[in-house]
Chains A and B, each alone.
Chain A
Amino acid sequence: MIHIFIYSGVFLALLMLLSLYRAVVGPTVLDRLVGVNAIGSKTTTLLILIGLIYHRVDMFVDIALAYAMLNFIAVLAASRYFQKQKGLYDERSNK
């Protein structure tokens, strides 16, 4: 069962690389925010998988809960900040 958890964690890390592509090259700021939000929700699962691999779930569950809250507050604060700005544009078209 440990091997299944390890392979699932590696697969999740590869999916986080796919989301990191959108966070790096995304045309607007909000695209990067979407990528960061997706990475954060995958990290919450990955933390509990790490806890199951090391047999310390009772400690890693609290870290995962704190990380979920931190991800939510970061995305909410960043989107509230960027909605005041009128300068959001597609960075590829050079308007």
Chain B
Amino acid sequence: MNIIVTIILISGLIFFAGGAIGIIRFPDFYSRLHPAGKLDTAGLATTMGALALYTASSFSTASLITALKIILIFVFVFITSPTATHAIIDAGVRSGLTPWRKEAEADK
């Protein structure tokens, strides 16, 4: 059981690392929201799954309830993270930020 939890946890950390590197490396605000919105949700899903599996592996009532709460956090984030990303994009569009283009980069 410990090996399975370790593998899922490390895969979630790889998702988080990809998200952090993508937020730094992408050229534009709109393209930066792509790793920020997707990879954080995916990393949180896999790490929460691993930690809920580790918590539920000792079969008692209290640990099962705690694992259920961890799953509840994941369900909450799975609803709210796309909503927050959409709100940020909406603020960017309404305030008139123009998307990044390759020709504009070549003109400099």
Cβ-defined partner of A79 (8 Å) among B12, B23, B62, B91: B91
B18 → chain A closest CB, angstroms: 10
Residues of the B chain whose Cβ atoms lie less than 8 Å from the Cβ of A85: 95
A64 within 8 A of B: yes
Contacts A21-B24, A38-B20 given; does A68 touch B76 at CB 8 Å: yes
Residues of the A chain whose Cβ atoms lie less than 8 Å from the Cβ of B95: 82-83, 85-88
A6 within 8 A of B: no
CA A76 – CA B90 in complex, angstroms? 11
A8 touches B13 (CB 8 A): yes
Q: What is the predominant secondary structure among interface residues of chain B facing chain A?
A: helix
Count residues of A near B (Cβ-Cβ below 8 Å).
46
A54 → chain B closest CB, angstroms: 14
Summed over the interface, the residue pairs from A and B with CB atoms below 8 Å come to a total of: 134
Name the residue on A nearest B65 (C-beta).
A58
For chain A, residues 36 to 88, give those with C-beta under 8 angstroms from any C-beta of chain B.
37-38, 41-42, 44-45, 48-49, 52, 57-58, 61-62, 64-65, 68-69, 72, 75-76, 79-80, 82-83, 85-88
B32 touches A34 (CB 8 A): yes
Interface band, chain B: 35 or more
CA A14 – CA B36 in complex, angstroms? 16
Of the candidates B19, B36, B41, B54, the one having the most CB atoms from chain A within 10 angstroms of its own CB is: B36
CA A44 – CA B10 in complex, angstroms? 16
Proximity string of chain B (1-37) to chain A, C-beta cutoff 8 Å, 1 when within and 0 when not: 0100110011011001101110110000100110010
Proximity string of chain B (71-101) to chain A, C-beta cutoff 8 Å, 1 when within and 0 when not: 0110011001101110110111011110000
- A interface, CB within 8 angstroms of B: 1, 4, 8, 11-12, 15-16, 18-19, 21-22, 27-28, 30-31, 33-35, 37-38, 41-42, 44-45, 48-49, 52, 57-58, 61-62, 64-65, 68-69, 72, 75-76, 79-80, 82-83, 85-88
